[in-house]
Amino acid sequence: MMKIGVLALQGAVREHVKSLEAPDTEIIIVKRPEQLEEIDGLVFPGGESTTMRRLVEKYQFFEPLQAFAKAGKPVFGTCAGLILMATDVLGEPEGHLELMDMTVQRNAFGRQRESFETELSIRGVADDVEAVFIRAPLITEVGQNVEVLAEYKDEIVVARQDHLLSCSFHPELTNDRRFHQYFVQMVREAQAAVNV
């Protein structure tokens, strides 16, 4: 049995819990840093990245989250969660948790297209994944170790660096669970590698 956590400081927590459900998986709602010790993978939901950063500090999650990722445990950041993971945020002096080697641009779609829904082709998942974008960020640059898994109109919207996964959109807001299940499989593989 593996345990996957959803960081519950802000955002659509319950929807993520539902999308992660799998027969061999227990989902934990993470509200305290100590809970990171009992989980094998973690999701950072969307929301508002500046507020999230503040809550991460307030509840003393900053270093424990960095240590969690450094230990090789899979992390999946969605929308504002992706912003938290990036090493660089355009227009800001520094990144937040700086887990993934990439530059992101916040609110990259502007007012005209603040929210929209589309179908994305995500490498390793499917070519028709339903994606809801809400005041979404874009990945403008990735480091050498980062693999681009999906683009929307030639802009990067899904990327992976080893055990770290991030996307610009909200996969938890549709009934399409395939992308979450891809992350569940990443956690399964990371856990199997530890247990050999």
Which residues have a catalytic role annotated?
79, 170, 172
Instruction: Report, in Å, the least distance between residue 174 CB and ligand GLN.
Output: 14
* Contact pick of 2, 55, 134, 148 for ligand GLN (by CB under 6 A): 134
- Residues 35, 61: contact at Cβ < 8 Å? no
79 is a contact residue toward ligand GLN (CB under 6 A): yes
Residues 6+ apart with CB under 8 A from 154: none
* Contact pick of 49, 105, 161, 166 for ligand GLN (by CB under 6 A): 49
Instruction: Report, in Å, the least distance between residue 80 CB and ligand GLN.
Output: 3
x-marked contacts with ligand GLN along 135-154 as a string, rule CB under 6 A: x-x-----------------
Flag whether 21 is marked binding. Answer: no
CA–CA distances in Å: residue 11 to residues 86, 173, 193: 19, 11, 31
- Burial of 100-119, coded b for 16+ CB within 10 Å and e otherwise, reads bbbbbbbebbeeeeeeeeee
Instruction: Report, in Å, the least distance between residue 15 CB and ligand GLN.
Output: 12
Instruction: Report, in Å, the least distance between residue 150 CB and ligand GLN.
Output: 17
- Residues 153, 118: contact at Cβ < 8 Å? no
Going by C-alpha positions, the residue among 19, 18, 67 that lies closest to residue 39 is: 67
Flag whether 135 is marked binding. Answer: yes
Q: What is the DSSP letter of 171?
A: G
Flag whether 83 is marked binding. Answer: no
* Sequence-ordered strand ranges (E) for the chain: 2-7, 25-30, 41-44, 75-78, 86-89, 100-105, 115-122, 126-134, 138-142, 147-152, 155-161, 164-167
Specify the residue, 120 or 190, whose C-beta has the smaller distance to ligand GLN: 120
80 is a contact residue toward ligand GLN (CB under 6 A): yes
Flag whether 134 is marked binding. Answer: yes
Specify the residue, 95 or 137, whose C-beta has the smaller distance to ligand GLN: 137
Q: Which two tokens stand for residue 58?
A: 């307030």
Residues tagged in the binding site annotation:
47-49, 106, 134-135
Annotated binding site for L-glutamine: 47-49, 106, 134-135
